[in-house]
Amino acid sequence: MSAASVTAFPRRTPPAILVVEDEVLARALICDELRAHGFKVLEASSAVDAITVLDSVRVDLLFVDVHLPGPRNGLDVARHVQARGMPVQIILTSGKSEASAIPDLDELGLFIRKPYLISRVLDLVSHSLNWPEMPRS
């Protein structure tokens, strides 16, 4: 069988996205939209919970707020992913910080400032995962 005759099959399962956001309404909104577009979505409200999820479940993309309550923040979660060499795409978000204020942002991932348009988040997610363009609602 030649390489030219091999058919690419669609993925059997959708990519898994971990959304880490301490604001319940913001987390619910983004998670609902991602699920509506066919993604498997996991949720965490703190850095500690996010790290627990990352260490126990395969995740393809991390969508994390930079500012989280508790002893660790979203940057700590992103650095945890990097330090362990996990093949996880990262999108950081913040309503308090500008991208220029985040150290090592270029090495960590993409950044989107709050308040964000859901359509922009969906575009970033699909681009990061090399996933087909999602239809606009």
Tens-place pLDDT, residues 45-55: 999 999 999 99
In this structure, whether the domain defined by 14-128 belongs to CATH 3.40.50.2300 is answered with yes
pLDDT score of 70: 93
pLDDT bucket at 11, cuts 50 / 70 / 90: low
Asked if pLDDT for residue 88 goes beyond 50, the answer is yes
Rounded Cα distance, 90 and 125, in Å = 9
Residues 19/44, Cβ–Cβ less than 8 Å? yes
Where do the domains of the chain lie?
A: 14-128
Alpha-carbon torsion 65, 67, 70, 75, what sign?
Answer: positive
Measured at the CA of 96, the angle between CA 128 and CA 63, to 5 degrees, comes to 25
Q: With a threshold of 0.75, does the pTM exceed it? A: yes
CA distance 3 to 97: 48
Query: What gap in Å lies between CA 58 and CA 66, rounded to an integer?
Result: 21
